[in-house]
Amino acid sequence: MILFYIALCSFILSLSLVPVTIRISNRFYIFKPAKDKKGKPCIGGAGIYIAFLVAVLSSLFFIKLPVGKLSAVIAPSSIIMLLGLIDDIKDLRPFLKILGELLGIAILVLLGIFTKIAFIPGWANIFITALWLLFITNAFNLLDIMDGLASGLVIIISLSLQIIAFINKDIFSCVILTALIGAHAGFLRYNYPPAKVYMGDTGSLVSGFLLAAIAINISYAPMERKIALFTPILAMSLPIYDTLFLIFMRIKKKKLIFSKTRDHFALRLVTMGCSIKKSIWIMYAFSMFLAFSVIIVAFSSNLTGLIVLGITGLVFILIGKKVGMVDLDE
Residue type, 166: F
Instruction: Please write the tens of the pLDDT for every residue from 82-119.
Output: 999 999 999 899 899 999 999 999 999 999 999 988 88
pLDDT confidence of residue 247: 87
Instruction: Please write the tens of the pLDDT for every residue from 57-86.
Output: 999 999 999 999 999 999 999 999 999 999
Over residues 146-159, mean pLDDT: 97
Structure-model confidence comparison of residues 187 and 253, the more confident one: 187
Over residues 37-44, mean pLDDT: 86
Q: Quick one: pLDDT band at residue 254, thresholds 50, 70, 90?
A: confident
Over residues 224-229, mean pLDDT: 80
pLDDT higher than 60, residue 330: no
DSSP readout, 2-70?
HHHHHHHHHHHHHHHHHHHHHHHHHHHT-EESTT-TTSEE--HHHHHHHHHHHHHHHGGGTS---HHHH
pLDDT confidence of residue 220: 79
pLDDT higher than 90, residue 127: yes
Q: Quick one: pLDDT band at residue 223, thresholds 50, 70, 90?
A: low
Structure-model confidence comparison of residues 223 and 32, the more confident one: 32
**Residue 40 DSSP one-character state:** E
Instruction: Please write the tens of the pLDDT for every residue from 255-268.
Output: 777 666 677 888 88
